[in-house]
Amino acid sequence: MLHTQNLHYQVNGKQILKGVSLKVAPGEFVGIIGPNGSGKSTLLKNVCKLLRPTSGFITLNGQDIQTISNRQMAQQMAVVSQENEAVFDFSVEEVLQMGRYPRKGPLEPANQQDDNAITDALRLLEMSDFRQRSFLSLSGGEKQRILIGRALVQQTDLIVLDEPTNHLDIGSQLKILGMLRRSGKTILAALHDLSMAARYCDRIYVLLEGTVLKEGTPHQVITDQLIHQLYHVTGQVFWRNSTLFIEYS
């Protein structure tokens, strides 16, 4: 579904991405981990066409994304970025309705299909009672769930997320990532919490200084040595019933 090949990106003469290659197959939940400044957000911005790679290529469903119109991209890929601060107040329903724009013609009014998509998303989010609430009145975790809901009502097969649970409490993190897992969508997400990445991802790519350091299942990737290499701390990794625990010293 999604493939980056030997991707390079530089700005002001500085190489940010250095030959990054990754694949995301249909139905996979793929995580990207790495320390701050490793290139995670830059990689996702290239994938979403917010930035254009210096060299290399990105294909979506076998097609070079540079040949796909923004509207066609939005019909195949939904994006939840870190910068989502609302300036104007909208109802939750109005925010979710924005996810329907790529599938509608100019000035085309809302229809039953739009309403059904919003209803289904709110049910999956466990937020059906929030439909008429003011978006600005919601908590941080509730806002993030609605923004992910907006991606869901786009009805794309692929959702790309840049640290979707950053600054959220543990309960909100579990709800959001669990909901994404249950959605059946193909997911590519930059994540900062190793335990959450281990819990929900099928495969993980590790970025360090703009290169792919390691790739594999959570068990294969997250090791004592990796934690020291990425974060310069000593930690002992152990697993219990497929749950990751890290003891730092």
| Residue 233, in any domain of the structure | no
| Residue 237, in any domain of the structure | no
Dihedral pair phi/psi, residue 170, rounded to 5° = -60, -40
H or E element at residue 173: helix 170-182
Please give the residue range of the domain that contains residue 203. Answer: 2-221
52 vs 179, higher pLDDT: 52
Q: How many domains does the chain have?
A: 1
| Residue 62, in any domain of the structure | yes
| Residue 228, in any domain of the structure | no
| Residue 242, in any domain of the structure | no
Alpha helices in 81-111 (DSSP H): 92-97
Write out pLDDT tens, residues 77-124. 999 987 666 657 899 999 999 999 998 888 888 899 999 999 999 998
| Residue 232, in any domain of the structure | no
| Residue 92, in any domain of the structure | yes
Residues 6+ apart with CB under 8 A from 56: 4, 5, 6, 7, 8, 19, 20, 21
| Residue 243, in any domain of the structure | no
* CATH number of the domain to which 99 belongs: 3.40.50.300
Write out pLDDT tens, residues 169-210. 888 888 889 888 888 899 999 999 899 999 999 999 999 999
pTM of this prediction? 0.91
